Amino acid sequence: MKKIRNYYDILARLQSALDGSASRHDLGTIRTPSDGYPLIRIVLGQGNPYRVLISAGIHGDEPAGVETVCTFLEQGGNLLAKGPWEISVLPCINPFGYEHGTRNNYEGKDLNREFKNSDPPREVSLVRDGTPFPFHLTLELHEDVDSPGYYLYQKTATARQEGLGFRIVERVEPHMAINRNEMIEEMEAEGGVIHRLKNPGEMDFWPMALYALAQGTQACLTLESSPRFPMATRVKAHLAAISGALEHFPILMERESRIKNPRILKGG
């Protein structure tokens, strides 16, 4: 199968973008008959109070997420980590698929259907074993070739956090049209947000988002750009979504804390 991209170009860009405060963790190697791909996790702002996982490239034919991660770091993602966030990044979970432009890995497996499997593909095993779940927030960068615009899936631990998705859509809309269909992927949607999702226990398979939720993550969002737009537009939309999520999630958590602890409202 012919390669259309080079995974090692991505690794080189990431390495160049990191400053001395970031750390790189090698999770292990994905071996195929012709190649070996190191799977990595990058951490910025280690020890900060809120923890987010940003992941991309689990489907190799959705390159905008990988490009977004590189751009995020090249444009100063390190600076964001100096605030309240410890940011973990899985820049490309499916290196073979990324290089060859295929949704699945070299074994023909859709990695985003394997997170409940007791004996999953190696990529999934390395992510599960090498990523310190739970997080406060997970952001998974995807693309939907059938969508006329941006939308997202959201699963949260509490109903009060559901407003996060709508804040993200507001942030994205100046950069990309929003898919405001009432049904998206045969699921009810509201203003570009799908949040009436099944609980993990009801699913025969788990995508990465439901695995993260089952591990105790507070809010799990799967962000879907549209390949009908140029790559630069898709990247801007994803960057806006990331920025909106990192800005608004702590605000929602503060409000929730005040509701649970009403004495805070009285200054005591």
Model confidence at 260, pLDDT cuts 50, 70, 90, reads low
d(CA 140, CA 209): 8
CA distances to 125, 186, 191, 219, 242 from 159, rounded to whole Å, are 31, 22, 17, 10, 21
Q: Average the pLDDT over each of 72-81, 192-201, 208-217 and give the range with the smallest value.
A: 72-81
Residue 261 has pLDDT above 80, yes or no: no
Q: Which pLDDT score is estimated for 266? A: 39
Select from 179, 181, 186, 174 the least CA-distant residue to 150: 179
CATH number of 7-266: 3.40.630.10
- Would you state the pLDDT for residue 201? 80
Any alpha helices (H) in 178-230, and if so which ranges? 208-214
Structural contact between residues 48 and 84, judged by C-beta atoms closer than 8 angstroms: yes
Closest CA to 131 of 104, 96, 93: 93
* 156: pLDDT strictly greater than 50: yes
Taking residues 20-47, what's their average pLDDT? 94
- For residue 83, the model assigns a pLDDT of 76
Tell me which of 51-60, 66-75, 138-147, 157-166 is least confident: 157-166
Query: Hey, what are 243's tokens?
Result: 């920025």
Question: Mean of the per-residue pLDDT values for the chain?
Answer: 92
pLDDT of residue 186: 94
- Across the range 114-123, mean pLDDT stands at 97
Distance CA 13, CA 11 (A): 6
DSSP, res 121: -
pLDDT value for 78: 53
d(CA 230, CA 250): 32
What pLDDT, on the 0 to 100 scale, is given for residue 202? 81
| Ranges assigned E (strand) in the chain | 23-31, 36-44, 50-56, 85-90, 137-143, 151-156, 183-184, 187-188, 193-194, 219-225
DSSP symbol at 148: S
- The residue-averaged pLDDT of 205-232 equals 96
More confident residue, 217 or 264: 217
Q: What is the chain's length?
A: 268
Q: Would you state the pLDDT for residue 159?
A: 65
N-terminal to C-terminal alpha carbon distance within the chain = 65
Q: How far is CA 221 from CA 21, 22, 133, in A?
A: 27, 24, 15
- The mean pLDDT value for 161-188 works out to 95
**CA–CA gap between residue 88 and residue 102 (Å, rounded):** 25
- pTM summary value: 0.94
Q: What is the pLDDT of residue 19?
A: 79
List beta partners, residue 51. Answer: 86
Question: Which residues are paired to 139 by β-bridges?
Answer: 54, 221
Q: Say which range, 124-128, 229-233, 245-249, has the weakest mean pLDDT.
A: 245-249
Q: Among residues of the chain, what percentage have pLDDT more than 90?
A: 81
**What average pLDDT does the segment 176-201 reach?**
93
